[in-house]
A = this chain, B = another copy of it.
Amino acid sequence: MAFKLIKKDKNSFARLGKLRTGHGTIQTPCFMPIATCASIKSLDSIEMEKLDADIILGNTYHLYLRPGDKIIKKLGGLHGFMNWQKPILTDSGGYQVFSLSDIREITEKGVRFRSHIDGSYHMLTPEKSVDIQLNLGSDIIMVLDECAPYPATKEYIEKSLEMTTRWAKRCLNYFEDQRSKIKDQNHNLKLKNKKLSPLLFCIVQGGTYKDLREKSAKQLLELNFDGYAIGGVSVGEPSEKMFGVVDWTAHLLPEDRPRYLMGVGKPEEIIGSVARGIDMFDCVIPSRNARHGTLYKFKNQKSKIKISRSPGEFYEILRITNSKFKVDNSPIDKNCGCFTCKNYSRAYLRHLFVSKELLAYRLATIHNLNFYLELMKRIRNSIK
């Protein structure tokens, strides 16, 4: 089993776990910074390693279109391409097809879409998505799902989740074929340290409807996946609706498999979801906010944090371009150990942002990702 549940929290549904992959072990609960185009925007892979992220996320849609999964395969997979030796999860490409491509046409077969880059037409099927992710050399592969819009009618969501189940099954079948090939290769190579084959996660859909979430979870539980994601959240619904979905869904999922809440979220949403039994997160918020000069700072320097369904205000936000930082020679957070806080002042950062210097985006991103990764450490410490 790839996932090992180490401990359960006394006061909540929070869980401490370890997830073994072909490129190392991930401690959960974990946050996955997003390397959309094979780069965490403005950061290099070496500084990501120093930030102590266990795993990053790559976007299949972007990498398939540019530079192309076959090219990346030739260049040593995504790990070799971007010089990152720790685990990588790739999404299925589905979400971006629905949100970024010019037009799209969904059929039982898959989804036909037009590239947002050059207008070319492409067909993404469940099998094709797995194939791309295998070419990328992903450690955790996601099944292709339809991420239905919010709001949507119950009828639409129900039809959609049923197709998502059929697609998940097709992904699993195709993946099992490929996985057995990898195992055969490993066997033939007689390697001592055999490369672990990738893991496959499915995605529970069902919008904001309790019975549909249950239906989706039930259908997917009949299949055997390495991990279970909750999708179709963080698509514009209010925070409480998202928490409702997590409440209904998390306890339906098998205890011995990791649970991944896709695209979430704000720091308080992460704690609230951990308290509801979620193990894995990804979100563009820390890096996107960083590039807009919105920076995070803990209110205290304890190594633990209260895990609660509705955590209080445990952090502050600095809008670094605010003129009050003009002559502020202190770091963003004097208790923060990140490269940015150890070397540069608020006044300098403010100046870089106001002057639109490229360095601004990188220094801010380092700090915000460090904040999120430190948040996860505090969460894990608290469960321990």
- A38 in complex: contacting residue of B67, B326, B327, B348, CB < 8 Å: B348
Is there an interface contact between B326 and A71, defined as CB atoms closer than 8 Å? yes
* 0 or 1 for each of A350-364: is its CB under 8 Å from B? (1 = yes): 111011011101110
A43 interfacial contact with B, CB 8 Å: yes
Is there an interface contact between A358 and B347, defined as CB atoms closer than 8 Å? no
Q: How far is the CA of A83 from the CA of B44 in the complex (A)?
A: 21
A103 interfacial contact with B, CB 8 Å: no
Q: How far is the CA of A358 from the CA of B327 in the complex (A)?
A: 28
Is there an interface contact between B327 and A81, defined as CB atoms closer than 8 Å? no
Given contacts A46-B343, A75-B347, A348-B75, contact A41 B358 (CB under 8 A): yes
Q: How far is the CA of A299 from the CA of B76 in the complex (A)?
A: 28
- A45 in complex: contacting residue of B39, B76, B343, CB < 8 Å: B343
Given contacts A71-B327, A75-B329, contact A82 B361 (CB under 8 A): no
Residues of chain B within 8 A (CB-CB) of A334 are none
A195 interfacial contact with B, CB 8 Å: no
Interface centre among A81, A351, A352, A363 (most CB of B within 10 A): A351
Is there an interface contact between B71 and A329, defined as CB atoms closer than 8 Å? no
* Nearest CB in chain B to that of A358: its residue: B42
A196 interfacial contact with B, CB 8 Å: no
Residues of chain B within 8 A (CB-CB) of A80 are 329
- A354 in complex: contacting residue of B66, B75, B83, CB < 8 Å: B66
A37 interfacial contact with B, CB 8 Å: yes
Report A320-348 residues with CB < 8 Å from chain B CB. Answer: 326-327, 329, 339, 343-345, 347-348
A74 interfacial contact with B, CB 8 Å: yes
Given contacts A67-B326, A327-B74, A343-B83, contact A358 B362 (CB under 8 A): yes
Residues of chain B within 8 A (CB-CB) of A354 are 66-67
- A329 in complex: contacting residue of B44, B76, B358, CB < 8 Å: B76
Given contacts A83-B344, A343-B45, A362-B44, contact A357 B74 (CB under 8 A): no
Residues of chain B within 8 A (CB-CB) of A343 are 44-46, 83
* Nearest CB in chain B to that of A38: its residue: B351
* 0 or 1 for each of A39-76: is its CB under 8 Å from B? (1 = yes): 10111111000000000000000100011000100111
CB distance from A205 to the nearest CB of B (A): 30
Residues of chain B within 8 A (CB-CB) of A42 are 358-359, 362
* Nearest CB in chain B to that of A37: its residue: B355
Given contacts A82-B348, A343-B45, A347-B71, contact A358 B355 (CB under 8 A): no
